[in-house]
Structure 1
Amino acid sequence: MKAAEKIRLKQKTIVEAAERLFLANGYSGTTMDAVALEAGVTKQTVYRYFPSKVSLFTALLGRFDEDETEFFFAEGGTLSQELQRYGVAFLSRHMQPRHMALFRLMLSESRDSSELGDLFRSHAQPYWLGKLTLFLSQYLPEQDAKAYAHMYNAMLLSERTPLLMRREEGMSAEQIRSHVDFSLLLFLHGLPLE
């Protein structure tokens, strides 16, 4: 195994250990000592790759997006088809149990840590928002595209808070498709009053 691969494997082991601890004990309840013990490495090794708990948590947030490249907008689809495809991919990802657990952690602890809240805002959805903004900028001025991208994502995630409050773990594929269809109809056409 090459040195670069060993480094990546060690970093992955540390971040996976940190994820388990952050989700079990919270951000404030997790120490770098505990991460080292969980990962089976020394504390110095943890600090070699992650100089602070903030940098370790930032790496964890990055892991949630590491396989996001599976989604891309296809050429030739209609606006509605592409937004529907995006919506299903976006909501399916964000309704996964580990995403829900991380969001629950962020909600519970960001009130006591503005740093944690800032990390969440800057790392939670940049990949998805950027891709959607770029796609919508084919149809709208860039500033409008970003505002509409935020709005569509918010509509898609509107079911997340009630699920979190009921301590449910997400939505079924059928529920996701149904919610995306409803959100897309409202997003593209507004209230169907006439």
Structure 2
Amino acid sequence: MRSKVEADSSAIPAPIGRADQTLAKKRRLLQIAREEFIRQGYRAVTMDAIAQAAGVSKRTLYLWHEDKAALFRACLNAGVERFPLAQFSDAAEPESDLRAFGVALLQEFTRPSTVGMARLLMREAHEFSEFGPLIRQSRDDYLARPLAEYLVRTGISKRDSGSAAMLLLSMILAPVHNALLVDDALPDEQQCRLHVEIAVRTFMRGTERGANAAAA
């Protein structure tokens, strides 16, 4: 039988290791940096202001990110890593799989922080030539290429899978594009699901007709 001291000590959570504390600080820094970039714009933000807002020393900030451009890239990566690639599951029916992926993706792109970063990129991209390659690489690595591979793997699109993936992404994200370009209201959760349902169904019918035409 355990003693009372042993029983009590088992309920005490293990102390957080130094590595875990550092990782938590890095994540918090990126969150605060994203907020500052969105609020002030890329040009106006200073490393000093971000260090102060995050409660870290300038030395620590520059140890983690060598300059503002590197910090901004890290902020972009932190955002794209939330993209719902895990929704691709070969156990599901492809259309159901794509709907789940599309809903998760559209909901991610309607998050205030994601919309804020998108508005920032649109507003200042003409001043900073490095933005374009960063956006394209993130899109290709985290969205277009994995989606194209899934379309091939499931037999949905065996030819021009890259173009098909880009088309489906554009269809899913159309409400976000409209919000950014013409200030349409962003969809709520129910509207996201309805839009994705229509987009995926239309895409699947189009690819099916294309496959039948190619086989004829």
Q: Is the structural similarity TM-score above 0.5?
A: yes
Match of 1:155 in 2: 171
**Alignment partners' CA distance in 2, 1:104 and 1:69:** 21
**Alignment partners' CA distance in 2, 1:105 and 1:51:** 22
Does the Cα contact within 8 Å between 2:35 and 2:113 map onto a contact in 1? no
Identity, % of aligned positions:
27
SS of alignment partner, residue 24 of structure 1:
helix
Match of 1:11 in 2: 26
SS of alignment partner, residue 113 of structure 1:
coil
Does the Cα contact within 8 Å between 2:83 and 2:105 map onto a contact in 1? no
Match of 1:95 in 2: 110
Equivalent residue in structure 2 for 1:46, among 33, 49, 61: 61
Over residues 124-157 of structure 1, what are the superposed CA-to-partner deviations in whole Å (9 max), with x where a residue is unaligned? 463233331221111144x622221111001111
Does the Cα contact within 8 Å between 1:110 and 1:117 map onto a contact in 2? yes
SS of alignment partner, residue 87 of structure 2:
coil
Q: How many residue pairs were aligned?
A: 190
Structure 1 stretch 92-101 or stretch 59-68: which is displaced more?
A: 59-68
Does the Cα contact within 8 Å between 1:73 and 1:86 map onto a contact in 2? yes
Compute the displacement of 1:3 (Å): 3.1
Runs of 5+ consecutive residues of structure 1 not aligned to the other structure: none
Runs of 5+ consecutive residues of structure 2 not aligned to the other structure: 1-15, 210-216
Match of 1:107 in 2: 122
Residues 1:120 and 2:139 are matched in the alignment: no
Residues 1:175 and 2:191 are matched in the alignment: yes
| Paired letter, 2:191 | Q
Flag the structure with larger Rg. Answer: 2
Alpha-carbon spacing, 1:165–1:67, altered in 2? closer, same or farther (3 Å): closer
**Alignment partners' CA distance in 2, 1:102 and 1:169:** 17
Does the Cα contact within 8 Å between 1:95 and 1:169 map onto a contact in 2? no
